Amino acid sequence: MQQIFITFVFLGLVAGTGFGFADFESARSLKKRTQGSMEDATIEPVWAPDDSALYYQQQGSIVRIDTQTGTKESVLDAKQLNGRFDGKQPVIQRFKITEDGSITCLADVGGVIRVLRVEEGGIRPVAPEKDPFALLAHKSAKNLKSGKGSGASKIYFVNNSSEPGEIVWVSGTGEHKTYVTLEPGETYVQNTHAGHLFSCGEVAFRAEKKPGVAYLGSEPEKQTGSTTDPRQWKAEFKDYNLHVTNRKTGKTMQLTSDGSEGWKYRGPGHWSPDGKYVVVFREKKGTDRHIDIIESAPKGQLQPRTKSIRYLKPGDELDVATPCLFDLRTGTEITLDNSLFSNPWNITRLHWAPDRFFFLYNERGHQTLRLVAVQAATGKTATLIEETSPTFIDYSQKTFLHQLDETDEAIWMSERSGWNHLYLVNRKTGKTKPITAGEWVVREVEHVDPEKRQLWLRVFGVYKDQDSCYSHFARVNFDGSDFTILTEGNGEHEVAFSGNRKFLVDTWSRVDHPPAQELRRSADGQKVTDLGTADTSKLLAIHPHLPEPFVTKGRDGKTDIHGVIFRPSHFDSKKKYPVIESIYAGPHGFFVPKKFSAYHGPQQMAELGFIVVKIDGMGTNWRSRTFHDVCWKNLKDSGFPDRIAWLKAAAKKYPYMDLSRVGIYGGSAGGQSAMRAVLDYSDFYKAAAADCGCHDNRMDKIWWNEAWMGWPVDESYEKSSNLADAYKLGGKLLLTVGMMDTNVDPSSTMQVVEALIKAGKEFEFIPFPSRGHGAGGSNYGVQQRAEFFIRHLGTCDLPPGES
């Protein structure tokens, strides 16, 4: 029966429904159809050097706004450029404002670059040597390679030399690929990504985030200053031991002799400011656990092959690195008492002050985080700051430490009040004073200004009538005074500050509100003028039903739970729709979308005739400590009591949501949660699609699972295990997994499969032999997931089918 069913799925037919490939292709095409529907949605600000004006492009023209008055004028009309280049219309790629207020533009004229200066009296070309968009010419050395691409960009190549020049792309692994050969005087435009490198004879150019010009024939940049380490000593590690060499005398000292393969000394070396001391690390090798992944259908060969990767799991012994202090004047080690850092998860943030150094000690189990101070002359250690928690310290998301050496202070982040806030610490006395406080959280320190003793922050929850996870921006003094909220609109905010931070462009939106932009003052957060709101008319003609934020109370009847409802473009409120939840409940973040987008992933599933929802229940991050602690040793909870309460409240308001037909899907931690839904809540969730799930936290990678489930490994791991509870399966289940997954051990899914078989449970299973993590999110995987839900839940027009 299972074999016949899989054949039917492959043919793209769902028995009894009439759904086929055309329906899935139509749903899949929604993303493509919405692309380009929000052109010129936001402006990209360019500031005058003295912050006196804001400039931006609008429909090919350049607009200037006086930051004091908000008055607006056009300073370069696109029509001014018409007819100047053989009838071709220039497209301005970038522009800059010079000190005298003139504008220099980088314009694309049919793939040919023009650099133009707009000033009183007309528009003039700019010589290459004065081009502000010229990319830096590097020596074309063997060690130069492409970095990881970080966004689309362009390079305009101009051959100003007297010889032909090859444009060669250099990959991240050093491979070379020739794109084109330019004759003298020719130009060429190359679409690329920021960070990618192109070699052109003796020079090389690296793409920036914005389009730039590469002039062949340019002189490579000259090295300024010393290219060697200015310290008196250099450190080397030979045969696992530390050697230091005096740069002036050439004399070498071997400072250690007890290093070995399993207990080695390693860098980098951290040198004291006066050059008298150095700190290195001694690392003890931990468990050498490997997992073997079998590639059953390798490309280019018939026989399978095995890949082995090091993969530590909860409870394994860590590679432990601890600091060692050496006096370079005597060549001796100064013994450190390690009682304050005897059981590290890791030791990071080593920082020297004139006579001592500091490091951050994160204890295994993540219930103690300590800033340790060490006196250089004696090796005496002391606790400067300590955080403890009966549950966990969210070190991966909420660690912030900024050292202020000139005033002997530090800025520290902590949840000690029950909310994530900042504190000013006196490094001499250890005395701590709050900088921020209240029932809201600091999400990020955006900028530290030690001269003005100010912090610029991204914050959550400062407006009680808004979603508590909408980003807002604020400024505060080190002593906690003059806390000023700089943004206001009811939505998610992104800001762009002027060069002197006197003004900001605030862009805010919600899933149901297009981006709106405002010019605001940093002094008091007041709005200077509106800059406009994106036009959604084209988008609404394609999909007239924007996602809707929905909030109701959770399991305790008092805590707000936020989510979003997605409807199909052909939505009809008179019909009944099965409901599908897209779940990810990882405690490291929150996952309900907050800002506007022309397309959200869940809309593809909704387009097939479902209401799709996304919810953040208790146990997710960036609210109160109490809200977050629900996940502690309890990942199986996944916020389900809050999710079910939310869905019932939404269905009460919108009766077209049919809660007799509820499905759920997710991947990775979301796959673990999706399967848990039909183990513990199968009276509510009727069908679940779980992809690449970490179904047993003992089987998954060490850091993520110990962060929330704790250490040592105890009975709580088994209590949250889908493997242990597989016998409880009560709803329909589709399992998918990429057999080449290096993120979550694919054996986690395979062990669940075996447990379900032993328990005599019916389920569906698709292994992807050659795919990795997230295989169920591939085109084929998404189609099979959709067909699974159509068969078991039906759609707005069709009852559940039968396989």
Which residue type, as a one-letter code, is found at position 309?
I
Evaluate whether residue 172 is within a structural domain: yes
Task: Look up the CATH number of the domain holding residue 645.
Answer: 3.40.50.1820
Evaluate whether residue 327 is within a structural domain: no
Largest Cα–Cα distance in the chain? 88
| Shared-domain flag, residues 550 and 672 | yes
Task: Please identify, among 478, 507, 533, the residue that sits at the C-terminal boundary of a domain.
Answer: 533
Range of the domain at 118: 46-130
- Domains of the chain: total: 4
| Shared-domain flag, residues 109 and 153 | no
Q: Is 204 exposed, middle or buried (0-12, 13-18, 19+ CB in 10 A)?
A: buried
Evaluate whether residue 731 is within a structural domain: no
Output phi, psi for 644, to 5 deg.
-65, -40
| Shared-domain flag, residues 543 and 456 | no
39: its two tokens: 């052109």
Please give the pLDDT value at position 127. Answer: 86
Which residue type, as a one-letter code, is found at position 43?
I
Low-confidence ranges of the chain (pLDDT < 50): 1-13, 15-16, 223-230, 802-803
pTM of this prediction? 0.91
| Shared-domain flag, residues 366 and 421 | yes
Total count of residues recorded for the chain: 803
Please give the pLDDT value at position 113. Answer: 85
- DSSP helix/strand/coil, 528: strand
| Shared-domain flag, residues 63 and 183 | no
396: its two tokens: 């991966």
Please give the pLDDT value at position 788. Answer: 97
For the chain, the average pLDDT equals: 92
DSSP 280-291: EEEEE-----EE
Task: Please identify, among 533, 559, 583, the residue that sits at the C-terminal boundary of a domain.
Answer: 533
Q: Which residues pair with 334 in a beta bridge?
A: 325
- Extract the runs of DSSP E, i.e. beta strands, from 419-470: 421-426, 432-434, 441-449, 454-460
CB 632 within 8 A of CB 710: yes
| Shared-domain flag, residues 408 and 439 | yes
Residues 6 or more apart whose Cβ sits within 8 Å of residue 392: 366, 367, 632, 707, 708, 710
- Which of 709, 716, 672 has its CA nearest to residue 690? 672
| Shared-domain flag, residues 77 and 144 | no
- Which of 479, 469, 533, 531 has its CA nearest to residue 505? 531
Evaluate whether residue 742 is within a structural domain: no
